[in-house]
Structure 1
Amino acid sequence: MSIKRDYMISKVLNNNVILAVDKKTRQEHILVGKGIGFGKKDGKMVRLSNHDIEKSFIAYDKRTKKEYLQLLNQLDGKIIGMSEEIISLAEKELGHLNSHIHIVLTDHIAFAIERIHMQLEISNPFLYEIKALYPEEFQIGLKAAQLIKERLEVDIPEAEIGFIALHLHSARQNKKVKDTMKDTRLLKEVVDLVQKEIAMTIDNQDLMYTRLINHLRVAIIRTEEKKPIDNPLLESIKEQFEVSYRIAQKVGEYINEKKNIDVKEGEIGYLALHIERIRRSSN
């Protein structure tokens, strides 16, 4: 059934995104829909049906309203509209995202585009870790890159796609980007420690690398949440894989030092199994 509502257009962001006030509720919404902004003008009244609108949401709360309005005044509407399309796409695939994503991702994309125009190199030291840890978010980042190219004729590098994935993951987990970055950095440092101890480089494109870094992430989460796991193989691991167990202990000590959490023996034992598998693969 088609339900129509009247909206006053505050700002046409692009052909598919408008900022508009619902005449009945007086709430300002971001409206996303194919061709919804085509031929429309700011300050005009428009009647839209639920079939016209793919997604409708309030882009800010009282706390963030000032920040979002500043973005509207400072940035090209095309960038804001395109960012909202990316967020809409992400929520379809990932579920609800923290509302602050409308500010931080939009601002980040605008700054990235500015750096690209200035021909400043964008580097991402955690790119491979991001790909391994947040594959769903990275896939959306790839789609975002395609959208940016279509809308703005700007090619963003893979490093920047990684940063977009970080923002999406943070919003998905209700975390600050700096905290997600800190966690990702720690995982990279731990993998570097393992590589140093076993005196070999693990190919970051290899499945073994992905398995190791994902196991480390889950182990840290379990430890933070104080959910120790039983390891019936622990004594056998200690005896049979003495070298790998000793390396795993060093990893546990490093995590303890950085996050002030006590990694239990059961976790260390399972990590030793991963390390032993990597050591054997090198032979």
Structure 2
Amino acid sequence: MIITSYHQHNVRQNVPTTACTTPTTGVPTASSTSIPTSPPQGYQQPPPHGYPQPPQQGYPNQPPPYAPGYGQQPAYPAQPYQAAAPAPGQTVIIHHQTTHPVRPVVQPTRNASATLGGLFSGAAKVAKGIGNTVQKELDIHATSPTLRQFGTNAILQFISRSNNMCLRTLPNGGLDCMGNPAANDPYTHYKVQNHGNNIVTMNTMGNPTFYISIDKMGNALGNGPGGYESKLRLHETFKGFITFESLSNANSHLATLPNGQMKPSRGTGKDQDSQFSIRVIVPAVAPVQQVYQQTTIIHK
């Protein structure tokens, strides 16, 4: 039997180098583990002066430049806004760019959801205002073979794209779209007065005192007085088709229902119900160009 003695502070002494087993089971006990006396096989001693250290000023070679990949690409330079006259009969989309930052102004609200709602609502109003401004400029300066038919003193007939019938002023001053294009009805013939910038007034040949108008309530009339509320802005939404927008009531257009009745003008956009093709009854007479000569007499 091997006897292990302990000091008062429980320090082991006389550790055996050979394993012992329990008398009954033969399993090594905790005190039978041997203590290594040499480094394991393959162990390398560190150099006597330690491992070499990098210089104080850092590595002399800098890392290589950025290699091609999915990194951040250089931004495109900001382009100034450019506008060009659209080609006849061509749809034009204008992308607006600016070199100046835009700071949206948002009024303080009670909670975050209201703040986001106000931000999106404000952005929508700004976008709508920009769209209306661009569209107005296009309407003013647009030209095409169809728009050029609206010269002063031209007599035209308007056929609805919705029901293929003619716009017609009734003897009582009403307006509908039940005229027959082949009937040669003077109440379906309209004389044009062009005020420039694609703004016109039109009176029926059946009663020259009756003008097509849209009143303040958005109702289409056939007996307008011919003043400001009778002025209509022309817009060619589709090649060969014209819409008539009230100058005094924005976003109010002449429009018809499939049964020939007039559609409420207020809030009616430039859809198919608002589009009319043009039939020329009498073409406009080209204006006579006058040439002026100025003579300057110098007295000595």
TM-score tier, shorter chain, comes to under 0.3
Task: From the two aligned structures, give the one with the greater strand fraction.
Answer: 2
Task: From the two aligned structures, give the one with the greater helix fraction.
Answer: 1
Q: Highest Rg: 1 or 2?
A: 2
